[in-house]
A and B are shown apart, each in its own frame.
Chain A
Amino acid sequence: MSAESVVDLSGIVQKFGRVTALDGVALTVRKQTIHALVGENGAGKTTLMKVLYGALKPTEGKVIVEGQERHFTKPQDALAAGIGMVSQHYSIIGELTCLENLMLGAEPGWTIPFANARTKATELATQMGFSFDWDALAEGIGPAQAQKLEILKLLWRGARIMILDEPTAMLSPTDADLLFAKLHELADSGTTIIVVTHRLPEVMDHCDDVTVLRGGKLIASKPVSETNPEELTEMIVGHSVDIPAPTPATPGAVILGVSGLTVKGERGDDAVKNVSFELRGGELTGLAGVDGNGQRELFQAILGLLPFSGSVALDGVDLTKKSTKDRLVAGIRLIAEDRHHEAVIEDWSIELNGVLGLHHTEPIRRGMLVSANARKEIGEAVTNRFPTKFDRVGQRFGDLSGGNQQKVVTARAFQQNPRLILAFQPTRGIDIHVSALVFQALKEQARAGSAVLLVSFDIDEILEHCDRVLVINHGEINEPPEHLRGDRQAIGRLMVGAE
């Protein structure tokens, strides 16, 4: 490990209008190391990385890469200087083959010598220990494979400095460990890696140095060997977070009964395969699993948004043939995965979005009308439930920041006496303080007699908050045996079907 620095950012200030996202931040990354950049949502991690790879031009500050001062105006400039980024949202186009995705934007010439390119791609992949069906369409590859392809894309373009934004967010623990093993190999062979993450175990186990940002300011930057998780947590959060001691669950009556549920996925195969389970009141149940294993389809079928075979009952009443409207009225609430497409109408006001989906429940519904009073009341309730920054309830929903939008969507699920809350990553984009409040609220709702099913891709989140754990893998749901309920590794193995 050398002490030579390849990236030197100093005095970086980034302003968006009157908001200062970065306030005089410095970052030094040593050659051939894995450098962790940690902080809460909104701490400025992504903004800083955007400055480094040319997606943002800093208001002030210096960017020095490999000893040379740089003024990138677009990501391609940064790439030409050897810096590339794998963002959380992959830029892989499903309709192209893996090989085409690999080359897009950096093709070998005017015509493409496919046979040649395939050989070169295979060589590159073999070096990393990856294997690809280069001629298969990329839409079929899973998140772990997609991540590998993104890394190869950077190598194909000759990147020497690689930024990975939350690289393990979509991966199972096994895949995450494999990924870091590969990153170590890459670092040894000359690449420098910056990992943006919020998972401290990853930082402690796999990274050489760590930099902490909070509220757009640099808090600390030091070798991982000189710090510990407690110190890091405190630096990230600023003060310790109080989470009330969990009260043990007392499972009540069966609320949701699902039996023999099979749901077809987008590609025509069974996304959920003959699944049966019960959820009881009083319990917060976590559904662990890697993204894309049928969680989405399961939720949509329970709410009646997708056709399915099998049966779904709520409070002993068979809902199998009921419409989504009837299911909502019966008390099923969904905190949808994709807020923009499934949960809100962005051009509507906060207030209208607050009653959206609840508009058939009394007393919001008054005959053919929507009660203005009830609407106003709900509008206030959804903004007060979690600390939300907004001007007025009549404001356009789309003008709220992402985190605040999510708070409103989550708060809506608690309105009008829910019997069952289906929560799909309800804290996505919400900072750590409010996240704690959301989990607390879900738990309280459960304690008050409702059933809650929480989908999360983060095992630790589930272990921390849930009373009961179910695991979904390839559309099949398993419950870990009694003695392994709190065993991270065992759940991880179930998630990838290794058990």
Chain B
Amino acid sequence: MIDPLVILFGLASIQGLTLLTSALTLSSPLILAALGGLCSERSGVVNIGLEGKMLGAACAAGIVGQLSGNPVLAVLAGIGVGTALSLLHALLTQTFRMDHIISGMGINALAVGGTSLIAKTLSNQLSGRMASFPIFIYWVAAWTAVVGIWWYLKSTRGGLRLNAVGNDPDKARQMGVNPVHVRLFALLWTGIFCGLGGTLIVTNAGSFSDEMTAGRGYIALAALILGGWRPIPTLLACLAFGFFEAINLQMQGQSFFGQTIPREFWQSLPYLVTLVALAGFLGKNKPPSGLGRP
């Protein structure tokens, strides 16, 4: 007699490696987007527009990658559009003092409509896989950035000022720190990270399709909150979400003890986990005190 559980564990160990690589692949765009969110929110700018920035970047990188066949141009296009949208957020929230949430939502809406329009307009000129760098490079970029930001926050003048502005822009101003400059610099990096995140998503798929970021910007935001706006815990939260998404891919269609668990359950798992985790942790992690303040 072979216990069905043994079979299950056996299967799991064979699949373990694929599960791991799959989790790493799926968490990388989350890590990049969450770091983008971290730069922005630690400086006091609420950023629910991560999704839109990634989507814009994915569209730009995909199209340029297909048209030019040059991976460098594709990445630059992704970073360029991510940065442009992020600086638009800076302009709206800092110069025009618009509500941060409204500006973020506007950018998301702009990205959904804009990318769809551009992709449709160019659809008959686009074919084949986009030119791209190997996925591995993005992993390295994401993990290096986590360590880099952790070090930056801990040991540099810029990190100290970012922290000060994010917690109390008025007092920081009194100490001769210009909150607008600090936030502009932070949002520049938000754009770069979201740009890389979006480029990675389109690289994984091979070409752009409408709304292909599929809410990853929001999950990244959730991971940021779960990680208490700190780089290393945020990385761990992203890995956890990536892991559940990997489980989703592996488990779909598999049956347990003759019972088929509907694939909708596995698909909704990462989101369910987000919901439960947020409900459990929200309020325990303290956001930067200056979040949303002009």
Contact = CB atoms under 8 A, between A and B. Distances in A.
Interface of A: 75-76, 79, 87, 91-96, 100, 103-107, 109-112, 114
Contacts of B40: none
Interface string B155-171: 11110110110011001
Contacts of A76: 176
B252 interface: no
Contact of B177 (A95, A104, A109, A112): A104
Contacts of B163: 95-96, 100
B156 A111 contact: yes
Contact of B164 (A75, A104, A109): A104
B160 A93 contact: no
Interface residues of B, number: 18
23 contacts: A75-B174, A75-B176, A76-B176, A94-B289, A95-B163, A95-B167, A95-B168, A95-B289, A96-B163, A96-B167, A100-B163, A100-B164, A104-B172, A104-B175, A105-B161, A105-B176, A105-B177, A106-B176, A110-B156, A110-B157, A111-B156, A112-B157, A112-B160
Nearest to B176: A105
B155 A105 contact: no
Contacts of B176: 75-76, 79, 105-106
Interface centre among B158, B160, B167 (most CB of A within 10 A): B160
Contacts, number: 57
Contacts of B158: 110
Contacts of B174: 75, 87, 91
Interface in B162-200: 163-164, 167-168, 171-172, 174-177
A76 B289 CA distance: 25
Contacts of B164: 93, 96, 100, 104
Main secondary structure of the interface of B (DSSP, over half): helix
Contacts of B156: 110-112
A105 B175 contact: yes
Contacts of A110: 156-158
Interface in B13-31: none
A82 to B, nearest CB: 15
Contact of A93 (B155, B157, B172): B172
A109 B172 contact: no
A268 B167 CA distance: 21
A96 B160 contact: yes
Contacts of B160: 96, 100, 103-104, 107, 112
Contacts of A106: 175-176
A109 B175 contact: no
Interface in B133-174: 155-158, 160-161, 163-164, 167-168, 171-172, 174
Contacts of B175: 91, 104-106
Nearest to A76: B176
A114 B167 contact: no
A145 B155 CA distance: 25
A104 B168 contact: no
Nearest to B152: A111
B182 to A, nearest CB: 11
Contact of A91 (B155, B161, B167, B171): B171
A60 to B, nearest CB: 27
Contacts of A111: 155-157
